[in-house]
Amino acid sequence: MPAVLHKLSEVKYSIQSASSLRAGDKYKLRHPKDRDCAAAHIRSTQLIGAVIHGNAPAFRLLLIGISQSTALSFDPPTLRGPVTIPLVTCVKYHADVPGIFLLAGMGLQFPAGAVVVSLGDDGLVKMEINKALVRLDLWPTWLEIGCLHAEQAWVAGDRLNPELSDSEKYATLTDELQAGLVAVTALAFAVDGFYDTLRQELGVHPHQTTWRKKRTARHTQVTETFRFHLKLGPTFSGQLRTVLKELFEFRSRAVHPNSKFADLSYRPQIDSGVHPHLVTFSGPHAVQCRALVLELLDRIIARAAEQSRPGADKGWLDRGREELDRLSALYRLPGDDLPAFPHETPS
């Protein structure tokens, strides 16, 4: 019978670039103190994963996709005696799927007992993965969708002027409305999604059950959870509550519209009264929402990084910061957070 060298209690890692785990592939597993391995973890375009955490003392491995080169190293506390570096000749996955395709930002977790390293009668080392769990946080995707469509709504709205023909106004307002609807709702989904990620990482608010019973407004739940975990001050908490209340109200108008008659709203770009939806989901409003969401997430992620405990897993924050900085460089412009429609009177 094969001798089990080690059965991992629990392992997990985050994905840095799009990669595939396929049955029959070969991988190098080495200790993170190995500087060459750490460099590959940061730079390699063939990177499969980051640190794998185990409950055994000082037991950490890096799983890196390096073809035709396989070695397995353990810390001395894990196996008695000197460091053992046997050759891994086979990596087997559970029978449900032949392999796993991983997008950048995805998490991969092997539950307790799912990874087994064994020594066969032939003296060769084999590793079996009996179960795998995956995670994909969608808030960065929603954030990018919101940023992109806010730009499209702005471009459409910028074409509006009183001299356009009625048919041109109709086509342009329709383009602006469609892009604006997607932008505003996606930006609200992004904040809501980050809130869910934070709850997953740091835990729910102590009043969560009470909120559910009392049907507490969503913007209040989000604000208070951020305030509780990140130790936000009253000034920023108040600003956050105000912005989220309006943003989530905009989302509600899009997701739960009604057919009631409404008072006209004025659009100075065409010097005409319009339905309120054509202001709420206009290009200027979409850009303003984008600027405010980028600013709020920037401050919240920075605060979360400051409040994180030493040694805590910050992969979710690092990934969030990377995506936020990328999108901010593309779409964050001074003045975009100013009121989209100052009070104006018809000409």
Starting at the earlier edge strand, list the strands of the sheet with 125-129. Answer: 3-7, 115-119, 125-129, 88-93
Instruction: Give the pLDDT mean for 270-287.
Output: 95
Instruction: Give the pLDDT mean for 258-282.
Output: 93
Which pLDDT tens digit goes with each residue over 42-82?
Answer: 222 222 332 233 332 222 233 333 222 333 333 333 333 33
Tell me the C-alpha distance between 286 and 152, whole Å.
Answer: 9
Instruction: Give the pLDDT mean for 238-267.
Output: 93
Q: Output the six-digit token pair for 293.
A: 């969401």
Q: Domain boundaries in the chain? A: 3-135, 139-331
Share of the chain above pLDDT 90, in %: 48
Q: Pick the range with the lowest mean pLDDT from 45-54, 150-159, 201-210.
A: 45-54
| 51: exposed, middle or buried (Cβ count in 10 Å: 0-12, 13-18, 19+) | middle
Query: Which of 31-40, 114-123, 203-212 holds the top average pLDDT?
Result: 203-212
Which pLDDT tens digit goes with each residue over 288-301?
Answer: 999 999 999 999 99
Query: pTM for this one?
Result: 0.74
Closest to 103 measured CA to CA, from 273, 305, 323? 323
Instruction: Give the pLDDT mean for 238-253.
Output: 94
What is the overall mean pLDDT for the chain?
74
pLDDT > 70? residue 335: yes
pLDDT of 97: 63
Share of the chain above pLDDT 70, in %: 63
